Copies of this chain bind each other. A is one copy, B any other.
């Protein structure tokens, strides 16, 4: 069920996202840089409204960016049914500030029939890590 999405995402590389994307995806306003089976990359620009009281990228928005790139990549995997997030575990490593361009990556660690394990990371364009994440997603089971 997924290859159509993979092709769609590939056609969006380095393009503005279309108007039809989900609302929060639009708010994050990332730009796809890579869309391969099991490996995605996006860039986000940190906007003022993504920051905390210190003018730094809010940890919650970091989590949201990680969840977003992970979810997008999983949508495009070949699988029997849609998948939903079981958990997201984020470790915060360094800072980003308004105006920064940051890179989000996701990668499938293992795609099982029921569970898909994924890792993600946010980094600066020079490679300095901002945060890392792991997530497990559940492939929904058709009722017997």
Contacts and interface: CB of A to CB of B under 8 A. Distances in A.
Interface of A: 21-28, 48-53, 58-61, 63-68, 71, 84-94, 109-110, 113-115, 117, 119, 129, 132, 134, 136, 138, 140-142, 144
Nearest to A118: B91
Interface centre among A21, A64, A65, A134 (most CB of B within 10 A): A64
Given A90-B87, A117-B91, A24 B67 contact: no
Given A24-B58, A61-B64, A64-B58, A136 B87 contact: yes
A10 to B, nearest CB: 18
A84 B23 CA distance: 29
Contacts of A110: 93-94, 129
A90 B117 CA distance: 11
A51 B116 CA distance: 22
Contacts of A25: 52-53
Interface centre among A51, A60, A84 (most CB of B within 10 A): A60
A100 to B, nearest CB: 15
Contact of A27 (B49, B88, B92): B49
A66 B60 CA distance: 8
Contact of A63 (B53, B60, B71, B91): B60
Given A50-B24, A136-B87, A93 B64 contact: no
